[in-house]
């Protein structure tokens, strides 16, 4: 979408900011929830509860949103991306997970460019670079990380980039809440089969209330609100612009990792946080063209 009214653009940016802030809580919340549920079951529970609630809200638009491409990308984008993310989070630290997630905006821009749909200008590419360098400083090191966990997070980031680019093409003309409900539901059904085949089902509630509260939070503030807001914004702005706000997620995740999981956070991370914010501002700067030379009429 190139011609978007200013008020709609502001609304989309506000939705993206809110979604990014809420998603920033999902990595640490998933880390806690994985003490109770295995990765596939956590994905099933998260989307299996959220999808019917969203479906009830957008019940009048569900049929129109249940198209083949939207369903297939829902399985990939919600099911595949989050399953890989859960597998990675289980094996690496919160800060390392945040670092990998921060690569998504640049990957989205690369995917859009490869498909010939790029609207990214030079300033935005600089912004991606600045933000990525900031993420490296924020995440740093610390916590229990592993190469396997980081590789799974990277695979999730690549898949997420393709999903974001595809959504920007598929969402216009559809109700974003209905699309989110359909895609979450499709992902939950497919991942249920995966969970039954590969993991032992949960047989009891956790003795500690922390994991249960984390699952409830993942369903509500981690799924219902941010995914619907993000889908709404994606229908109004280019993929690269929507992807840029994923950088808010590692900023929040790293902060929670430092405060709750005791991952290190010093001067380098503080400078990195400023770089992330600056990079986001650069990457969302509208692309402008040079003013045309005004033609002069001669008598």
Q: What is the pLDDT of residue 118?
A: 64
Going by C-alpha positions, the residue among 135, 101, 120 that lies closest to residue 241 is 120
Residue 7 has pLDDT above 50, yes or no: yes
Whether 38 is covered by a domain: the verdict is yes
Relative orientation angle of helices 26-33 and 94-101, to the nearest 10 degrees: 140
Alpha carbon of 49 to those of 39, 111, 223: distances in Å?
A: 16, 31, 10
pLDDT band at 2 (very low <50, low <70, confident <90, very high): very low
Nearest-Å Rg of the Cα atoms of the chain is 20
**In terms of pLDDT, which residue wins out, 292 or 19?**
19
Say which DSSP state 281 is in: H
Is 295 within the bounds of a domain? Answer: no
The count of structural domains within the chain is 1
pLDDT of residue 119: 65
Per the CB < 8 A criterion, the answer to whether 171 and 13 are in contact is: no
Q: Is the pLDDT higher at 295 or at 41?
A: 41
**Within a domain: 73:** yes
Listed residue (45, 32, 65, 72) closest to 199, CA to CA: 45
The answer to the question of residue 162 being in a domain is yes
Flag whether 159 is in a domain: yes
d(C-alpha 123, C-alpha 260), whole Å: 35
Two structure tokens written together for 199? 């993991």
For the entire predicted model, the pTM comes to 0.76
In a domain, 34, yes or no: yes
pLDDT above 70: residue 129: yes
- The answer to whether residue 277 sits within a structural domain is no
The answer to the question of residue 136 being in a domain is no
Tell me the mean pLDDT in the region 64-89.
95
Reported as a pLDDT band with limits 50, 70 and 90, residue 286 is low
For residue 244, give its domain range.
6-120+143-200+213-249
d(CA 31, CA 159): 21
Instruction: Please report, in angstroms and rounded to a whole number, the separation of the first and last CA atoms in the chain.
Output: 42
């Amino acid at each position: 979408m190139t011609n978007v009214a200013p008020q709609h653009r502001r609304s989309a940016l506000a939705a993206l900011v809110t979604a990014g802030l809420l998603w920033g809580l999902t990595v640490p919340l998933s880390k806690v929830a994985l003490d109770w549920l295995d990765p596939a079951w956590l994905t099933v529970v998260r989307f299996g509860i959220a999808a019917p609630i969203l479906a009830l809200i957008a019940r009048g638009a569900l049929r129109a949103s249940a198209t083949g491409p939207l369903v297939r990308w829902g399985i990939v984008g919600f099911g595949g991306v989050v399953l890989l993310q859960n597998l990675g989070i289980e094996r690496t630290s919160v800060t390392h997970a945040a670092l990998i997630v921060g690569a998504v905006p640049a990957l989205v821009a690369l995917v859009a460019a490869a498909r010939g749909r790029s609207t990214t200008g030079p300033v935005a590419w600089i912004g991606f670079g600045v933000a990525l360098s900031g993420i490296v400083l924020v995440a740093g090191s610390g916590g229990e990380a592993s190469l396997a966990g980081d590789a799974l997070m990277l695979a999730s980031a690549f898949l997420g980039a393709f999903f974001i680019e595809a959504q920007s093409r598929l969402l216009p003309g559809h109700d974003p809440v209905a699309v989110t409900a359909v895609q979450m539901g499709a992902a939950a059904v497919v991942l249920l089969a995966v969970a039954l085949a590969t993991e032992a089902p949960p047989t009891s509630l956790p003795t500690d209330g922390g994991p249960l509260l984390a699952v409830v939070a993942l369903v509500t503030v981690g799924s219902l609100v941010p995914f619907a807001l993000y889908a709404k914004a994606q229908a109004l702005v280019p993929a690269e612009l929507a992807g840029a706000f994923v950088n808010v997620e590692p900023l929040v995740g790293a902060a929670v990792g430092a405060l709750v999981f005791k991952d290190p956070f010093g001067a380098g991370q503080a400078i990195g946080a400023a770089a992330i914010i600056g990079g986001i501002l650069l990457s969302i700067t509208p692309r402008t063209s040079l003013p045309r030379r005004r033609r002069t009429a001669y008598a």
